[in-house]
Structure formats: C-alpha cells, structure tokens
Chains A and B, each alone.
Chain A
Amino acid sequence: MSCRNYGVAQKLPRTENGLRLYTRPDNPPRFVSFRVRPGPVIQSSLNDTVSLLSEQHPISFYELLGIPETGSLLEMKQAYKKLARKYHPDVSPPGRVEEYTQAFIRVQEAYETLSDPRRREMYDLNIAKGLHLAFSRSEFDEEIEEKNEWKSQWQSQLSGLKRRSMYKESSENMSWAARIRRERNES
C-alpha cells in the first residue's frame, strides 16, 4: 500500500485498515488529512502531528517524516531535524513528554531506516510487496544482518503471529513492552 508519489495521492486505493490518505498536490505536502473509518476526519498539519505519529496509526516512514518517497537525503535530514525540534522530550511541552517521546522514537526509527541507502532499499522493497507498512527496527536489522534459513523461518512465524494480532488491534508497530503496558493500563 501507501502512496508512491504524493502527486497522485488522491487516487490511492483504500488500505486494509480503512486508512485513506489525501494530500494537496503540491510537493512536499503542507497539510495531510486522513480518515480512519468509521471515525471522524482528522485535519492535521505538520505542526500538530502527534496523533499521526502515535503507535495506533500504521503509516509509512515517508509519511512520518512528511517527505515524498522520492525524497533526497538532504530533504530527509531537514525533515528529521525539524521534527526532532518538535518532538524531542527536551523541548516538548511539559505534560506531553511521554506522548512526544513516543513520537520522537518513531521519527528516529523512520530517519535511521531511510537515511541508510541499504535499509531504505529494503524498506521500499517491502512496501512494494505490500508486506509491511512499517516495522520494528530490531526485526529489520536482523533481517539485513543475518539471512540464515532458520532465521527467516523464525521471522516469518513471528510476522505471521504479528499479522494475526493486527486484526485485533493495529499493534504491529508497538514494541512488546509498550503493548503489555497498554494492555495493563486498559485492564
């Protein structure tokens, strides 16, 4: 899924989660609005994207950084530093530190993946295959570093498990501890 190009974003098919993405045709986008069915339309600009960055919304790393998939390394660095100045807990408003820290960690993950040509290629490949939208980096690192047979078996089992759990809740991007914490808070 995900948009290949922001210029054609309006023609995007609906995703499996019912997440739809509209952008203005200008490039890079100033405003992104998206709809989570059946909820209300959330209007958001890059200046207030915490909801966009929360773990519940599986959006691509490109969307996270607010750059097109054709974005250059320089654009990426600029976007990253800009978002860091917003979400880094040192500069976030008191009372929203926890929330912003989550956002920062996700921005960091997106940046580290996309700023490394090898990882970016791998990530793009996975997006093209429609496999993962965004996935936890530890998995990703290992995928690159070791490609033993047992390893990929284990990985596919794991991602199978994760996909199944996704039907219940879109928690594929949550770390294990985050998931447990949330469950604990809910109970």
Chain B
Amino acid sequence: MAEQAYTVASDSETTGEEKSSIPFPEIAIGIDIGTSQCSVAVWSGSQVELLRNTRNQKLLRSYVTFKDEIPAGGITNQLAHEYEMLSGAAIFNMKRLIGRVDTDPIVHASTSLPFLVQTLNIGVRPFIAALVNNMWRSTTPEEVLAIFLVELRSMAEVQLKRVVRNVVVTVPVSFSRFQLSRIERACAMAGLQVLRLMPEPTAVALLYAQQQNVNDLTSSGSEKIAVIFNMGAGFCDVAVTATAGGVSQIKSLAGSTLGGEDILLNTMRHLLPEMESHFSTRGIDEIRKMGLLRVATQDAIHKLSFQSNVQIDVDLGNGRKIYKVLDRNEFEEVNKDVFEKCESLIKQCLHDAKVEVGVINDVILVGGCSNIPKLKNIITSVCKQELYTEMNPLEAAVRGAALEGAVASGVNDPFGTLDLLTIQATPLSIGVRADGNTFIPIIHQNTTIPARRDMIFTTVHDNQAEALIIVYEGDQNAVEKNHLLGYFKIVGIPPAAKGVPEINVSMDIDASNVVRVYAGVLMPGSRNPAAPLMEVRMPTVDDGHGWCAEALERTYGSTLDLVTVQKKAGH
C-alpha cells in the first residue's frame, strides 16, 4: 500500500461550509457505506466503475479489527476466518450505532453483538469497546468509521493514481441531521470532504434516471414514476421519484431503522430463545458461541432465499446443540413484524407522493435483503408491478453516488450521459417547539430542496423580553419524540403585552442540505426588526442532546415559550 501517512484529523474539521460554491477540479468518488458492506465507485470518463481492493473484491466488509496497536479495516485486512470478525476484537454495524444515545432502542438491540455495547440509559453516547488481548479498548462509531474510510481512501488513491478529497456518501433516509453530522465528521477525520450526503434510494433514482435517459433519447417529455425500495442490513428506505429527461424529482421519502440485522436477531432468538441471558456474562467463550450462532443463522437466511427449508446445526458446547430444520414459512412468521413494517413504509411513501398504484412505471428493489422472496412478494403486490431488472441490487446505490459525484463536480460528458439532476426532498420535517410542548413544523417533510419557509410566532407572557427557539427534526407531534437539532435565544424583545410582538422564524435548506434558521422580532407598525436578527446554522447540539432538552425545561420552564400566531388568534 503506497501512502499510509494519513492521520485522523481533529473533531472540529467538519466545516463543509462552501460545499456548493467552490468549483471542484477533481471528480468526487461515490461511497456507499453499508451496515455490513461498503463499496466505492467513480465516473471514469465514460461510465461508472467500481473500485476493487487488492483481493479483487468490490464489496468490502464494513468492520475494523483492533488486534494490535494499529487497527485494521475490512479493506486491507484479510480475515483468517469469518469467526474472527465475531471474536469481539472487531467493531462492525457502526452505521447502526453512529450518532445514537444510550436510550435508543437500536443501541439496546446492539448489546448482543460480540463487541461491547453498554447502555446506562441516561441519554449519552453508549460505551462501545473491542476486546483486545482480553481487555476492552473503548472507541466510538465515528472513530471506527474514520479508520475504515482512511483505508477506503487509500485504496481509491492507489487505483486512481491521484489524491482523493471529495466524496458523495449515501446515507439512510431515516438518519437525523445529527447523525448526518457524525458521518461528515468521520469523513473529515479521514481527510475527506463531503460534497453530498445522498439518501440511498435517491442515489438509485439517479442511476435509474441515467438509464432511462440513455434508453430514451428521443422523448424528453414522458415522465416515469418509479418506486425504489432499498433494504440492507441496517436500514430500509423507500422513495417515489418522477423521472423525465435525466431529471429525477424525488416526490417522497420514507425510511426506518429496519434491516437484515433485525431479521437476523429475530431468527437467532427464535433458534435460541434464551439467547440474551445465555451471552450476558460475555466471556470469551460466550462471545465465540454467539459468533457461531450468528454465522449459522446468517447462512441459513441466505439459503432460504433460494430453497424452501434449511438445516441448522450449531454446537454451542457443554452439550448445548441447536439442530433444526427451518422452513421458509416459519422464517417469514418469525419476521412478520419486519415485513409488515416494510409494507406500511411503501404504502406511506406512495401516499405522501400522492401517487396512485396505477401510474407506477417501474418498481426497483435493491440492497442486501433484495433476494428475500417475501420482500419481493410484498413489493410486487403493493405496487401491482413486476420488479425492474436492469440494476445490480448491490451496486445500484454506489453507482448513483458516483454519478452524483461527477455531476456535482461539474463534469460534462459529450454524449450527454451526465445530463442528470436529482431534485431532492427533505425526509423529515423541521420546526420549532411552540404552543406548549408541541412540535410545529416549518419546513414539512417531502418538501423539495433547496427550500425556504417562514412562520410567525408570538410571546406567551406580558413583557417577555426573550424567547427560546428550540429546533427539532422529525414527524411526531410531541417535541421530545423528535430529534433536537439545536436551540438559541432571541433577546431584546421590546416590552409589550403578550401576543403583540411578531417573532418570525424562517428556515432555509440549501442544495447541500445545510439548514439555517433565522429569527427576528417585528413590532406592529414597524418595518424594522426590533431585535438583532439571529442566523444559526444547524445542528448546534453535540452528544447528550437528551440531557439538553431536559436541562432547558428544568431551567426555563415556559418562561421563554412561544406560540403560533394562528392559535392565539383562534381564541
């Protein structure tokens, strides 16, 4: 490997402020960071090419092992055996864990992984550690991801024979902006500048737009509606897109933390109901047994995609053996909830897009779970349409990301292959806390971005001089069920009866998906702001945002509250 001079840069290098405005001389590479596998692709000048590691693999296992002093990722490291990954020394599933606090159910579901995930349920980041020489070495998902990305970057640089700085990274639809900021931070730590974070199905949508454009050069008018369903190991995403003439307009997005990992855990629990208690002591022996069960179950699930039953034979030692024939119906029954949720996600996405089943032109199923027959059945029956077959389900997202990388880097293709555009929509609403403990969306979900919206609020107390703007992201009515993005205070509201000052809160998402919140005060009869205009880039909170909201509530109660103007006038 040529250059290993990379260091992990400081935490603060997450700027990316001028992402969309500087002309990029180099073509950004596309990276699909999967929960279980990663891939890298780049526009080669005439087409998208996937990069390979020295072992000629294009799908790279997402993990980092902490064996000796120097950690090694799944790119350079050759696993002696599958079980090595499950020895406790390897950290994986970082995409599921990144940016989550220890009260998160997803973190709780990860406590049965071979490495250590400890939760104290106090709203801080979980304790994550790898077993190194029989000791727990603590780490964070950001660090693990950064180490992995450093290897990925060096692999790409060796192959492309140039420096790689700019990347387009695909992300799950359900990621909060806080989680997105963690991905950006991990990239910055690895010396990579994020040009775009692209929701996975929208990357697939761009690939689809390109394919349609190539196939159909004559008609620029006819619009095609496609439903994209992407389910990998960690996440499940849906998008509805309207495509014409190389332009993919995202009409709606829906996502959930639901993936192959859940299917795997459900099935493991089905095979060994007392699984959690079995492994609670977490000795080296227990970790090894859990690894055995994990590998056997994974293998069985894969086989069930192509055969109707599978024999499972695991020796857990001490006379404890699992010997069972699992058939497909049983497997589907065990994972009934997962499949039902998938179905409701597609229906919700179609509903949000205001698209009738009859107008769908193509149904695209991609991701690591796309071989599961039940999933295929659900999707084809909801959309009443056969599946689109022109894409490799495991490469679609990274290919789309590479196309976006070329387009966003300003590359022109003489044959028009890159005359493409994705018009993104925002998957979650962004708003503020007002009217008591209510989340008031200002930019609603599935709004086309770039976007700008504003809304007028007012004070709840007479002579209220200050107001707290607490910004949340989500789709729940109760604020605490949404993600806290940040908060700031407006000061200097002139003395007035409650309900008189007009507090304008404006939000703005630019094409790089950066959110800015502006707030200012207008008094009736005056056209000039009564207090200095606040302009804040979100998110502003770091770890422990669970604590943050609680502390704000405890310290200020409702003294700095706001209400929407409409509700006040409604009395």
Contact = CB atoms under 8 A, between A and B. Distances in A.
Interface of A: 74, 77-78, 81-82, 84-85, 88-91, 94-95, 97, 101, 104-105, 108, 112, 138, 142, 146, 148, 150-151, 153-154, 165, 175-178, 180-181, 183-184
Contact of A84 (B421, B506, B527, B529): B421
B476 interface: no
Contacts of B510: 89, 101
17 contacts: A78-B244, A81-B247, A84-B421, A84-B423, A85-B245, A85-B246, A88-B421, A90-B421, A94-B23, A97-B511, A105-B450, A153-B569, A175-B506, A176-B454, A176-B520, A177-B508, A177-B518
Contact of B520 (A91, A104, A150, A180): A180
A89 B450 contact: yes
B421 A91 contact: yes
Contacts, number: 94
Contacts of B22: 94
Given A105-B452, A175-B452, A84 B508 contact: no
A89 B20 contact: yes
B504 A105 contact: no
A94 B520 contact: no
A43 to B, nearest CB: 26
A84 B248 CA distance: 10
Contact of B221 (A74, A108, A181): A74
A86 to B, nearest CB: 10
Contacts of A89: 20, 450, 510-511
Contacts of A177: 452, 454, 504, 506, 508, 518, 520
B552 to A, nearest CB: 24
A178 B244 contact: no
Given A84-B423, A101-B510, A138 B454 contact: yes
Interface string B447-461: 010111111000000
B21 A108 contact: no
A182 to B, nearest CB: 12
A166 B23 CA distance: 38
Interface of B: 20-23, 220-221, 223, 242, 244-247, 249, 407-408, 410, 419, 421-423, 448, 450-455, 504, 506, 508, 510-511, 518, 520, 527-529, 533, 565-566, 569-570
A146 to B, nearest CB: 8
B518 A180 contact: yes
B247 A176 contact: no
Contact of B249 (A81, A90, A154): A81
A177 B565 CA distance: 17
Given A90-B511, A154-B566, A176-B504, A78 B221 contact: yes
Given A101-B511, A175-B506, A90 B518 contact: no
Contacts of A148: 570
Given A78-B220, A180-B529, A154 B565 contact: yes
Nearest to B520: A180
Contacts of A153: 569
Contacts of B244: 77-78, 81
Nearest to B21: A97
Nearest to B502: A176
A151 to B, nearest CB: 7
Given A97-B20, A165-B527, A180-B529, A85 B421 contact: yes
Contacts of B506: 175-177
Contacts of A81: 244-245, 247, 249
A54 to B, nearest CB: 15
Nearest to B570: A150
Contacts of A112: 448
Contacts of B410: 94
A105 B451 contact: yes
| 6 A-B pairs with least C-beta separation | A177-B506, A89-B511, A177-B518, A94-B23, A81-B247, A176-B504
Nearest to B242: A77
A77 B450 contact: no
B448 A108 contact: yes
B450 A104 contact: yes
A153 B566 CA distance: 11
A156 B508 CA distance: 26
B455 A94 contact: no
Contacts of A94: 21-23, 410
A126 to B, nearest CB: 20
A181 B423 CA distance: 26
Contacts of B220: 78
Given A81-B245, A154-B565, A178-B452, 14 more contacts: A77-B223, A78-B220, A78-B244, A82-B245, A85-B247, A89-B510, A94-B22, A94-B410, A101-B510, A105-B451, A150-B570, A175-B506, A176-B504, A180-B529
